[in-house]
Structure 1
Amino acid sequence: MTIDSAATLAIGDRDPELSKQLDEALTAFNAAATGVSDQGSFSVKVIDNDGELVGGLTAWTWGGLCGIAMLWVREDCRKDGWGSKILRAAETEALRRGCDRVAVSSFTFQAPGFYQRHGYEETGRMLGIPGGHEDVHMFKSLAGSSEDK
């Protein structure tokens, strides 16, 4: 297939169809390059007695790695241990899915200390986040973790 000069470049808001096509194309490329095609995703959710969201987590899995995309707990519930319970549930699910490690990033104004208290180690930082903040990248091995025994 040849792309000629008549191809069109377009910029716009988030495009769900484009996201789906890119996901499929990159998944196929990654599987061909690595021989690993065990991609998946999961979520953990806590709902209160009124049906309101207390907190939750979304994650992806691939090749034995779990990547935490988002973890959030409602402000009035943050001192009740829900963040820890959600994170432990996600780590347990990651193990069940065959993952032996987890990666996450958290801005310095969010919760890098929370993850470090749960055994995550910093692997790098991205500078230049507004307000002088940084994006802290972290990693945890689940193999042999005392929390998982």
Structure 2
Amino acid sequence: MTAVDKRVLTVSGKDAELTKRLENELVAFNDVATGTAPRGEFSVRVTDEDGELIGGLTAWTWGGLCGIELLWVREASRADGWGSKLLREAEAEAVRRGCDRVTVSSFTFQAPGFYQRHGYAEVGRVPGVPGGHSDVYLFKVL
């Protein structure tokens, strides 16, 4: 007689609990593999006089590297330089946290040119984004 396999493989929609568990497990693995301190996170935001969000940026730091995850500015405020101000403040915060380099990715229809104007260099590109676009990876030494 053989033992019955009780493992279950499932596919579902977004699973916040699974995402958090995977993040925790991978961060722990990465810390051991690289011998670096745990990852940190920070955000930068700007609001108007009514407290409404003009724009914001989220990022992580790990072993001297800063990764920009999200940067967004509302459409009506994009010509006011808020993207540049958010980016400069994030870079300054990254330096305060001991980082000497930063990375970001941006779809070709988003803002790779914006990052290049701020000293970022393209280091890779992944094709296949819908609409014939690519995901551009950029890097900057701080």
TM-score range (shorter-chain normalised) is: over 0.9
Unaligned runs of 5+ residues in structure 1 are: 143-149
Q: What percentage of residue pairs aligned between the two structures are identical?
A: 66
Distance 2:80 2:26 in 1: 39
1:96 maps to a residue whose letter is R
Q: Give the ranges of 4+ consecutive aligned residues of structure 1 lying more than 3 Å apart after TM superposition.
A: none
TM-score of the superposition, structure 2-length normalised? 0.95
Separation in 2, partners of 1:103, 1:136 = 11
TM-score normalised by the chain length of structure 1: 0.90
Kept in 2, the 8 Å contact 1:42–1:59? The answer is: yes
The alignment status of 1:30 with 2:37, answered yes or no, reads no
State the distance in 1 between where 2:5 and 2:80 align: 59
The unaligned stretches of length 5 or more in structure 2 are none
CA RMSD of aligned residues (A): 1.0
**CA offsets per residue over residues 59-114 of structure 1, 9 Å max, x none?**
01111100000000000000000000000000000000011000000011000000
**2:40 is the alignment partner of 1:45:** no
Structure 2 counterparts to residues 66-85 of structure 1, below 5 A: 66-85=66-85
**Contact between 2:27 and 2:38, CA under 8 Å: does it hold in 1?**
no
* CA drift at 1:13: 1.7
Superposition pairs of residues 1-149 of structure 1, within 5 angstroms: 5-142=5-142
2:59/2:67 contact within 8 Å kept: yes
